[in-house]
Amino acid sequence: MKSDSNAPVTQELEKLGLNPDAMPVHVAMIMDGNGRWAKKRVMNRTKGHEKGTETVRQIVKACRELGISYLTLYAFSTENWARPKAEVKALMALLKRFLVGEREEMGKNAIRLNILGQIERLPDDVRQEAVTTINQTRGNRGMTLNLALSYGSREEITQAAKVIARKVKAGALDPENITDETISSHLYTGGMPDPDLIIRTSGEFRLSNFMMWQAAYAELAITDTLWPDFSRDELITILTDFQKRDRRFGKVTCSTSNDGSPQ
């Protein structure tokens, strides 16, 4: 396991039946279903987002305790700006409250905050709190928490292509030397490992413009559970299933049949 796990973490994982050496390094989550959760309870959609924020806190804590090195949460997409203004305003207020309220906890738990997306599009007060939290947690090495805000994978790849094109035009980069690694290094996640596992709640079977480049060989887990009801126990169940999968990355299994031929 490529994290700063220690003996207590290893003991906790073994107690849960998880193999410490087969844990995903990077887990990404598409947090879906806040609105439907509220609708089922005849509540305003904002109540669903509020409950969803509580789930965020629980899952961040759980991932830290389980030794996950990188956790990426799809919190607000570029398309979400088209939602009703009142809902967007409420979401931004919840985000600001989270950034301020969780700052101390991030420090105590050695969690480093990072923002993936168009941080410049966030309201000034929210952006300022985001920058403050990023700066205050910069030295933390226990876990990196990525919040994907005003994030869209197509926009991310487009911006990376523009930067690379400018380097080629300036003569700083030979087009023949452009590789997968070149593109990866120019994405918001440059320098981070790609996600090993992407979890989507609410039963939808799509990526919704989320980490389309980075998801090339990620394992996918879809649960019908709406995000506000997602729990640590369900996360552990998904991690247990993840550890049973045969990740071949396009290759064939190395096992052989009785006659010695590849299977």
Active-site residues, by number, are: 32, 80
**What CA–CA distance (Å, rounded) separates 251 from 113?**
35
**What CA–CA distance (Å, rounded) separates 46 from 76?**
14
Give the largest CA-CA distance in the chain. 68
For residues 47, 50, 51 and 52, what is the CA-based torsion angle, rounded to 10 degrees? 120
User: Residue 3 has which token pair?
Assistant: 């994290």
Q: 122 φ, ψ to 5°?
A: -70, 150
- First CA to last CA across the chain, in angstroms? 28
